Structure 1
Amino acid sequence: MTSSDGRAPSTRATRVRGSGGSRARTRAELPAEAAALVAAYERHLHAERGLSPHTVRAYVGDAVSLLGFLYSAAVAGAGELADLDVGVLRAWLADQRSAGRSRSTLARRAASSRTFTAWAHARGELDFDPGARLVAPRAHRALPGLLRPQQANSLLRASESGAAEQDPVALRDHALLELLYATGVRVSELCGLDLDDVDFDRRVVRVLGKGSKERMVPFGQPAERALRTWIEGGRRLLATESSGAALFLGAKGRRVGPRTVRRVVHAAVAAVPGATDMGPHGLRHSAATHLLEGGADLRSVQELLGHATLATTQLYTHVTVERLKAIHDRTHPRAQ
């Protein structure tokens, strides 16, 4: 392989860019100037923007990938941060597409790169912001799989039946399923809940969402009953000195993790005849859609779910319209 000027890429450049290498190795092989910039960017995302660790990892990983591409011999004439322009951004995304990355992944990485270049420009590292000129394909947003209201009721009745035996893990599973469906919270938000985040008098839960934004989300009587039974019965049987104030605990007494919650949801959904396999995010989609189908307005659902923009919440209106069309096609005498 040769670059556009006919020279073979150096071994180091190939390693930096190599699609088979890990992001950690790529980061370690960046020039000192670029490595320091990535470290400063990471601190900015953590301390100033307050993003979640998962989001920070994704943003930093994309910045490392972009800089590794920039400093590699694959970009003719490039070799330092000042060479980062919209042409390099487009070439980087084209390289990602050639590697088989999906449309949604490309859209996410384009948005991530714009965040990085805007920050670098504001910091004075770039004379202009090349990301402002980047136009990337929109992510394809497929309609999510959903539970029908009857299926959601079946899932929770089965869970309640299992909890009737008073096994502490079964009590926990029923409580977290009820709360997930009642509130539509994200799995990370559920796992982060503490005991004092639950206000039984007002029947609301305080949730710390993306960007450290706090919101209050109501829940109904079934979730209240399940939570009280878990806290007063099951939780005290699992609690240890390491439990702290965590609302939901794992079998060993530590704060429950997302992997455990996903396993619980998948198992519960699998027991519902005809239900599409889904995890906690599927319950979130289902809760939002059922709210809209029940007459809730879009702004209220946006607030409940903690969406930053109304456009994200509008996805659920498309789900509802598709269902209405299906019902119309099936039942209206003049539909065919």
Structure 2
Amino acid sequence: MLGEACPVSSRAELPEAFEDALEGFRRELALQRSLSEHTVRGYLADLRSLLDHFARMSGTDLSALDLMTLRSWLAKSRTMGAARSTLARRAASARAFTAYLARTGVLAVDPGARLRSPGARRTLPEVLNTEQASELVERVDGDDPLALRDRAIVELLYAGGIRVSELCGLDLDSVDEQRGLLRVLGKGSKERSVPVGGPARAALQTYLQSARSELATPRSGAALLLGARGGRIDPREVRRVVHRAAQAVEGAPDIGPHGLRHSAATHLLEGGADLRAVQELLGHASLATTQIYTHVSVERLRASFNQAHPRA
């Protein structure tokens, strides 16, 4: 169970009251808000830094945590070279934590409600062009069980634009072969149906018919994609598969699974897909998140124009 899988780290020496508050907040994040282990760990790492800073300034009375402390912590982070994106993330962690402390009566008022931080500069993701994407998939070749599995992996990532965590979480009954859909469990435990095209369905069918039984062990359970030892495949193994394939494509950026997701979204929009349809496919809660791919398309168009037009 997630609530037991991500214990609060004991790396920093914190007062017992601080540890209790962190543990309560961890449980809320993991159990009530259904956040991933990775996200929970990120929150807790930020908050350990905040509470260590607070303890050095003010002692052990958590009810004294105030806006000045939050601001001085962020200022210290900035002087130590933290990027704008890191400062924005830490401020968000602090706001969530102080809101929790106010709800549970530890704080009389929520100081985080007045905390502001620099907005993170959104960088455009690196993406493949359509030729590179096709070559990357074709580079994953072979007829042994792991090669057939790897081909299914890259086909599904690119065809469905799914996250690596969503891919690894697929079970055998997640595949609707008749309708060509995957039932994907995304962020916040939200399920959505993702269509995949003919090449991805063919690669998946070949894997299921010729490879999965060779990899399966008693510990495989219902997992669709299996690791070399028979358990559910690990995101790190998926990243190795994609990085290895990308490195074999001349001129391609060194992307991972998320790069294939970015590429799929960009190619859909360049091909005329509706922005809201792409939002639904990717499982974005906000359309603003999806809109970054329109900027990617414009930048690619501008680069092509500057390279090819005689009067650019």
Query: Which bracket does the TM-score occupy, shorter chain normalised?
Result: over 0.9
Equivalent residue, structure 2, for 1:144: 125
**How many angstroms apart in 2 are the aligned matches of 1:129 and 1:296?**
43
Aligned residues of 2:17 and 2:60 also touching (Cα < 8 A)? no
Equivalent residue, structure 2, for 1:242: 219
Equivalent residue, structure 2, for 1:330: 307
One-letter code of the match for 2:75?
A
Aligned residues of 1:238 and 1:252 also touching (Cα < 8 A)? yes
**How many angstroms apart in 1 are the aligned matches of 2:194 and 2:77?**
39
**How many angstroms apart in 2 are the aligned matches of 1:180 and 1:43?**
31
Which aligned segments of 4 or more residues in structure 1 are displaced greater than 3 angstroms? 330-333
Equivalent residue, structure 2, for 1:273: 250
Equivalent residue, structure 2, for 1:80: 61
**How many angstroms apart in 2 are the aligned matches of 1:199 and 1:327?**
39
Aligned residues of 1:262 and 1:280 also touching (Cα < 8 A)? yes
**How many angstroms apart in 1 are the aligned matches of 2:10 and 2:275?**
42
Q: What is the CA distance between 1:327 and its match in structure 2?
A: 2.5
Aligned residues of 1:182 and 1:287 also touching (Cα < 8 A)? yes
Equivalent residue, structure 1, for 2:11: 25
Q: Cα deviation per residue 1:29-63 (whole Å; 9 max; x = unaligned)?
A: 22222211111111111111011111111112222
Return the TM-score normalized by structure 1.
Answer: 0.87
Q: Please tell me the root mean square deviation across aligned C-alpha atoms, in Å.
A: 1.5
**How many angstroms apart in 2 are the aligned matches of 1:112 and 1:300?**
31
One-letter code of the match for 1:108?
R
Is residue 40 from structure 1 mapped to residue 24 from structure 2 by the alignment? yes
One-letter code of the match for 1:149?
T
- Structure 1 residues 98, 24: closer, same or farther in 2, change over 3 A? farther
Aligned residues of 1:208 and 1:214 also touching (Cα < 8 A)? yes
Q: Cα deviation per residue 1:176-211 (whole Å; 9 max; x = unaligned)?
A: 000000011111111111111011111111111111
**How many angstroms apart in 2 are the aligned matches of 1:95 and 1:39?**
25
One-letter code of the match for 1:54?
H
One-letter code of the match for 1:262?
R
Aligned residues of 2:161 and 2:262 also touching (Cα < 8 A)? yes
Aligned residues of 2:171 and 2:222 also touching (Cα < 8 A)? yes
Structure 1: which 5+ runs fail to align?
Answer: 1-21
**How many angstroms apart in 2 are the aligned matches of 1:226 and 1:298?**
28
Equivalent residue, structure 2, for 1:7: none
Equivalent residue, structure 2, for 1:54: 38
One-letter code of the match for 2:232?
R
Is residue 63 from structure 1 mapped to residue 47 from structure 2 by the alignment? yes
Is residue 98 from structure 1 mapped to residue 79 from structure 2 by the alignment? yes
**How many angstroms apart in 2 are the aligned matches of 1:317 and 1:99?**
35
The DSSP-based 3-state class of the residue aligned with 1:216 is: strand
Q: What is the CA distance between 1:78 and its match in structure 2?
A: 5.6
Structure 2: which 5+ runs fail to align?
Answer: 1-7
Is residue 118 from structure 1 mapped to residue 95 from structure 2 by the alignment? no
The DSSP-based 3-state class of the residue aligned with 1:311 is: helix
Aligned residues of 1:46 and 1:56 also touching (Cα < 8 A)? yes
Equivalent residue, structure 2, for 1:290: 267
Equivalent residue, structure 1, for 2:137: 156
How many residues align structurally? 305
One-letter code of the match for 1:64?
R
**How many angstroms apart in 1 are the aligned matches of 2:269 and 2:211?**
34
Equivalent residue, structure 2, for 1:259: 236
Return the TM-score normalized by structure 2.
Answer: 0.94
310-319 vs 225-234, which moves further: 310-319
**How many angstroms apart in 2 are the aligned matches of 1:42 and 1:158?**
43
Q: What is the CA distance between 1:157 and its match in structure 2?
A: 2.0
Equivalent residue, structure 2, for 1:127: 108
One-letter code of the match for 2:22?
V
195-204 vs 120-129, which moves further: 120-129
Equivalent residue, structure 1, for 2:198: 221
Is residue 302 from structure 1 mapped to residue 283 from structure 2 by the alignment? no
Q: What is the CA distance between 1:98 and its match in structure 2?
A: 2.0
Identity of aligned residues (%): 58
> Residue 185 of structure 1 is aligned with which of 151, 159, 162?
162
